[in-house]
Amino acid sequence: MSDQNDQDLLTTPLDSLHRELGAKMVPFAGYAMPVQYPAGILKEHLHTREGASLFDVSHMGQAFLMGEHAIEAFETLVPGDYQAMAEGKTRYTVLLNDQGGIMDDLMATSIEGGLYLVVNAACKDQDFAHIEAGTKGKADLQILTDRALLALQGPKAGDVLAKLAPETAEMKFMNFREVEIGGIMCFVTRSGYTGEDGFEISVPSAQAETFARLLLDQPDVEPAGLGSRDSLRLEAGLCLYGHDITTETTPVEGDIKWVVNKRRREEGGFPGADIILAQLENGVDRLRVGILPEGRAPAREGSEIQDLDGNTIGTVTSGGFGPSVGGPIAMGYVKTAFAAEDTAVNLIVRGKPLAAKVVKMPFTSKSYKT
């Protein structure tokens, strides 16, 4: 990317470190972000599956939603049950519109006095405006503009962090705690978006580079960029907002119906509840599925999915090479009649049909610490 383009982009607190490490920088969600380092996407991906990789995700939005009625107010915007959740627990959820369409996916953690939220970079301004409007008079939204966010991901992430902060060793998947690491107060959540064990760590922006260098000094830790982050989440069968889930898809169609927790299914009270609850009872016309193409040619986003008679039955929403799988993988939406495991389909790649089959996701086994 040229310096001229750089001038139009926001930067994270780790920008100079990325450039020092030789990162290839690209525009993403209005930020200059590292897509890869000199090792390359393939090696970064495989290292995350075997060791521990450090990702800069500071472009994402962080906020506190505080107040006595913050959780009840938040529940009017999402289908998750946060009232029953213990302090220090994190839950993945989605913001919904009145048609049950997904406005964004996010993480919300129960903390003393309210919630700690992490939303996607591309949607953060509209998300925060929507949350603020939807909870006005009942909660106080405090957007955290002075914090960076780093993701330490991989099977050795737990050991790495335990050496620096022993109390993190006992943390389970989707647990949160405030921890001092290297003299820096951090918000630590045992979570991530790679299918591996790991942590998302929020630190003050002014101390982000010091903290990143501390982690990169550990023998098992290497830097990784957006390229491997995308191939890792695809192998893990995880949705990318704006691609695999959008305002045109409901949680039921997106095969994440588990975000509608039991109490909310019984009580409703979230946007699009009538539509979503009817879909839970009666089914949907299309579903997100995993797809395994034959051969070596990847089917990219937008590729048409056909049945064996040449009828269009769906579209690929994410696709590429899965380094840990050793071949192409994809996910997309198909008519429900074709959503069963092992259903044979054709993917139209460069105008030609490519044989493929519907498979269960994830493509690789997850290794969360539960």
**Among 235, 263, 293, residue at a domain's last position:** 235
Please name the amino acid found at residue 348.
I
Same domain, residue pair 198 and 317: no
Average pLDDT in the chain: 96
Looking at the fold, whether 34 and 174 belong to one and the same domain comes out as yes
pLDDT band with cut points at 50, 70 and 90 for residue 368: confident
Task: Give residue 329's domain range.
Answer: 285-359
159 and 221 share a domain? yes
pLDDT single digits (tens) 223-262: 999 999 999 999 999 999 999 999 999 999 999 999 999 9
CB atoms within 10 A of CB 267: 11
| 3-state SS assignment for residue 209 | helix
Let me know if residue 68 belongs to a domain.
Answer: no
Domain co-membership, 151 together with 48: yes
For residue 259, give Cα distances in angstroms to 92, 125, 194, 225, 272: 7, 23, 19, 28, 14
Residue 197 lies in a domain: yes
CA end-to-end distance (rounded Å), the chain: 41
pLDDT of residue 370: 83
CA distance 155 to 365: 12
Q: 228 and 303 in one domain? A: no
In a domain, 15, yes or no: yes
For the entire predicted model, the pTM comes to 0.96
Within-domain flag for 343? yes
Instruction: For residues 165 and 224, state if they share a domain.
Output: yes
- 151 and 45 inside one domain: yes
Average pLDDT of span 107-123: 97
* Residue 365 pLDDT grade (very low, low, confident, very high; cuts 50, 70, 90): confident
Strands (DSSP E) found in the chain: 24-28, 31-36, 52-56, 61-66, 90-96, 102-111, 114-119, 140-143, 147-153, 176-181, 184-189, 198-204, 221-223, 286-293, 304-306, 312-322, 327-335, 344-349, 352-359
Structure tokens at 153: 């991901």
In a domain, 191, yes or no: yes
CA distance 284 to 287: 7
**Residue 185 sits in the same domain as residue 294:** no
Task: Evaluate the omega torsion of the peptide bond into residue 155 and state whether it is cis, within 30 degrees of 0.
Answer: no
Query: Going by DSSP bridges, is the β-strand pair 90-96/344-349 parallel, antiparallel, or unpaired?
Result: unpaired
Distance of alpha carbon 48 from alpha carbon 153, whole angstroms: 6
Under the banding of pLDDT at 50, 70 and 90, the label for residue 6 is low
Q: Are residues 46 and 157 in the same domain?
A: yes
- Per-residue confidence (pLDDT) for residue 5, from 0 to 100: 52
Give residue 2's pLDDT.
38
| Confidence label for 61 from pLDDT (cuts 50, 70 and 90) | very high
Q: Is residue 346 part of a domain?
A: yes
Residues 154 and 229 in one domain: yes
**Rounded CA separation 330/332 (Å):** 7
Backbone region of residue 350 per phi and psi (left: phi > 0; alpha: psi in -120 to 50; beta: other values):
left
Q: Rounded distance, CA 63 to CA 176, Å?
A: 15
Total domains in the fold of the chain: 2
**Which of 193, 209, 235 delimits the end of a domain?**
235
Domain check: are 159 and 217 in the same one? yes
Kindly state whether residue 86 falls inside one of the protein's structural domains. Answer: no
pLDDT at 48: 98
The CATH number assigned to the domain holding 309 equals 2.40.30.110
pLDDT (0 to 100) of residue 1: 36
Average pLDDT, integer, range 183-210: 97
112 pLDDT higher than 50: yes
My answer on whether 226 and 153 are in the same domain is yes
Residue 134, in any domain of the structure: no
Residue 220 burial (CB < 10 Å; 0-12/13-18/19+)? middle
Residue where one domain finishes, among candidates 235, 265, 296: 235
CATH of the domain at 23: 3.30.1360.120
